[in-house]
Amino acid sequence: MKIGIIGGTGSIGEGMAMRFSQHHTVLIGSRDVQKAGECATECTRKLADRKIPCELSGCLNQEAIDRSEIIILAIPYAYVAPTLKDLRGLEGNIVVSPVNPMVKADYVYYAPPPEGSAGLAIRKLLPPAARLCVAFNTIAAGRWRDLESPLEYSVPVCSDDEEAKQQVMRLAESIPGIEALDGGPLRASSMVETLTPLLITLGMRNNRKDMGMRFISPQGGGNKG
Ligand SMILES: NC(=O)c1ccc[n+]([C@@H]2O[C@H](COP(=O)([O-])OP(=O)(O)OC[C@H]3O[C@@H](n4cnc5c(N)ncnc54)[C@H](OP(=O)(O)O)[C@@H]3O)[C@@H](O)[C@H]2O)c1
């Protein structure tokens, strides 16, 4: 698959780029082509140091859209609307939102927009033909970037487009250790987005870094990679 990461130079974008580019072609998008190129070079170097081949390059956000099948919106919620306003060509593309709107106080709380979730708000900002999925909300950037450890986490995926959801679930499970789970329609996305403020609060208050989650059941399941 060809994956374009909008804001791919950021905390989660860089980590996703290093993980996905081992199995797919990845374009790190940015508002600044030089920053994107430097980030791609640095990610490639980190992988090469570990003798891991990758397909990775940097470009402007618009080019990442133009040359990819799956677009990941790896930018903070506050910048999503102004960023999407200036970008074109998302019709027919799968768009993935890992976006969690939240506020940090003495704990971190979920602060959804009036639509009910970032996913539902982003749906309104995208062209109707864009195929939106909410996914990858609960894996911390530090875990994506820690190339020595597998990502043994559950990834719930919410979408109103069942075919797009299946593709994103396959994308998630292309990373060894990740188990993708059908999280229901887009209107269920608030339940997924609110898990991350909980994980961060638990981490802050219990002195634990980069907390994540794996849902378990007696039937097991899971992706052993
Ligand atoms: N960090 C995590 O652990 C984590 C975990 C799960 C989900 N998420 C979600 O993933 C998303 C990205 O999080 P992050 O921590 O990676 O964010 P981040 O590092 O703060 O920023 C990501 C990128 O956003 C772009 N950006 C910054 N200011 C912008 C602006 N004014 N307009 C447009 N783009 C701007 C930058 O890319 P350029 O300067 O290159 O354009 C930046 O590298 C968030 O929605 C977050 O809720 C994060």
The per-residue pLDDT for range 75-98, each reduced to its tens digit, is: 999 999 999 999 999 999 999 999
Model confidence at 151: pLDDT above 70:
yes
Model confidence at 221: pLDDT above 80:
no
**Whether residue 83 has its Cβ less than 6 Å from ligand 1:** yes
13 within 8 A of 7, measured Cβ to Cβ:
yes
**Whether residue 190 has its Cβ less than 6 Å from ligand 1:** no
pLDDT of residue 219: 77
Q: How many CB atoms lie within 10 A of CB 66?
A: 15
**Whether residue 194 has its Cβ less than 6 Å from ligand 1:** no
Burial of 82 (C-beta count, 10 Å sphere; 0-12/13-18/19+)? exposed
Model confidence at 222: pLDDT above 80:
no
* Strand-pair partners of 25: 2, 55
Model confidence at 225: pLDDT above 60:
no
Paired tokens of 185: 């329609």
User: Phi/psi zone of residue 150: left (φ > 0), alpha (ψ -120 to 50 degrees), beta?
Assistant: beta
Q: Tell me if residue 102 falls in helix, strand or coil.
A: strand
Mean of the per-residue pLDDT values of the chain: 96
Whose C-alpha lies nearest to ligand 1, atom 25? 7
Paired tokens of 170: 């396959």
pLDDT in tens, 29-53: 999 999 999 999 999 999 999 999 9
Q: How far is the CA of 76 from the centre of ligand 1 (A)?
A: 4
Model confidence at 66: pLDDT above 90:
yes
pLDDT of residue 218: 85
**Whether residue 137 has its Cβ less than 6 Å from ligand 1:** yes
Give the Cα separation of 3 and 41 in Å (integer). 17
**Whether residue 30 has its Cβ less than 6 Å from ligand 1:** yes
Q: What is the mean pLDDT of residues 205-213?
A: 95
All residues at 6 or more sequence positions from 11 whose CB lies less than 8 Å from its CB, including other chains: 141, 145
Pocket probe for ligand 1: among 6, 9, 11, the residue whose CB has the most ligand atoms within 8 Å is 11
pLDDT in tens, 113-148: 999 999 999 999 999 999 999 999 999 999 999 999
